[in-house]
Chain A
Amino acid sequence: EDQVTQSPEALRLQEGESSSLNCSYTVSGLRGLFWYRQDPGKGPEFLFTLYSAGEEKEKERLKATLTKKESFLHITAPKPEDSATYLCAVQALGRDDKIIFGKGTRLHILP
């Protein structure tokens, strides 16, 4: 069964303190792995798509990496406005287009 597990569930960092969020996945064949940011009460905001092991994507203070079993979202020198829930999702190869989401990591950056 396809599965996505994110850790930690919650993370509190001081402003400027870099860290990484983990997304472990089990899927029969990976079409894509997606990272989203979600603010309370809002819809998830698309950040990155990764397709193959070794791929990396960057946007401002965020960098996403992918291996055959997991993905990391690295946050460098975070600011309070980076506080949000970060969601990881995977899509398997095949006719079905559904995406399976992890439960997310709640990130809180303290000023």
Chain B
Amino acid sequence: DSGVTQTPKHLITATGQRVTLRCSPRSGDLSVYWYQQSLDQGLQFLIQYYNGEERAKGNILERFSAQQFPDLHSELNLSSLELGDSALYFCASSPRTSGRHEQFFGPGTRLTVL
């Protein structure tokens, strides 16, 4: 158990809908990262937040957005869903202190868009 929690574990929805994925980082970690993993693409970095502020952006679509709240939990919002958005979505957290940059991953949310 990495200490990172994600809810829900599974999500099934229809095209055009909007969903919210939730992540709680490990105790004490200020940085949260979101990744998308599909069968043919591997792990793709989406976005990073550090202590409530956006810090880095990867290949995140404009239909997707995220935020980190004062209690450090984070939410990833996916809207106008398409079939191709079906994937595993992982959240990771990191201490991001001097010498400690490894990321610890949650169990993931499996999103299925029908």
Residues of A within 8 A of B (CB): 31-32, 34, 36, 41-46, 49, 87, 89, 91, 96-104
Contact = CB atoms under 8 A, between A and B. Distances in A.
**Band of interface residues on B:** 20 to 34
Nearest to B43: A101
Tell me whether chain B's interface is mostly helix, strand or loop, or mixed.
strand
Nearest to A42: B107
Contacts of A100: 45
B18 interface: no
A3 to B, nearest CB: 13
26 contacts: A31-B101, A32-B101, A34-B102, A34-B103, A41-B88, A41-B108, A41-B110, A42-B107, A43-B106, A44-B105, A46-B102, A89-B43, A96-B55, A97-B31, A97-B33, A97-B50, A97-B55, A97-B101, A98-B45, A98-B56, A99-B45, A99-B103, A100-B45, A101-B42, A101-B43, A102-B42
Contacts of A31: 101
